[in-house]
Amino acid sequence: MRFETNKEKGRAGMALAIAYFGSNGYTISIPLNDTQWYDLVIEKEGIFQTVQCKATDTEDNTIYLRSCGGHSTSVYDNVLDHPVDLLFCLDSKQHMFVIPVEDIRASGNLNSISLREAVSKFANKNSFDTSKYLVKI
């Protein structure tokens, strides 16, 4: 999946997150603006969680935890700087991952993660294993 712009990439990630959570019985709330540190609020059985959506179309399926923007593309935010509960990720082959942000924090990965369907034989012991967070609709 290739995107013309980052906005297209963001829309695809958000759309598939809504499809995933909606098809799994969650009530989904979408903020009225884009100034908060989460993209969705989901609720199931009285438990509310915030979700940040990320998508990538790179060959190595890297998801950057920081957000860049503006004319200078400077870093203005990092998912780990906020009390977000879940990171929903979409890779270049439309695989979806739902990762508790606390697991990323505990791993020590502060800038990026590489989405993988299976554990790579080349992964070192400090690599963050995303395969266990792979989900399907």
Is residue 107's pLDDT more than 90? Answer: no
Sign of CA dihedral 110, 38, 75, 16: positive
Query: Nearest CA to 22 among 30, 34, 11?
Result: 30
Q: What is the per-residue pLDDT for 90?
A: 95
Q: What is the per-residue pLDDT for 71?
A: 61
Kindly list the domain boundaries of the chain, sorted by start residue.
Answer: 6-135
pTM: 0.87
Distance from the first to the final alpha carbon of the chain: 18
CATH class of 6-135: alpha beta
Query: Nearest CA to 68 among 57, 60, 79?
Result: 79
Chain Cα centroid distance, residue 42: 14
Write the pLDDT tens digit of every residue in 51-104.
999 999 988 899 988 766 666 566 567 888 888 999 999 998 999 999 999 999
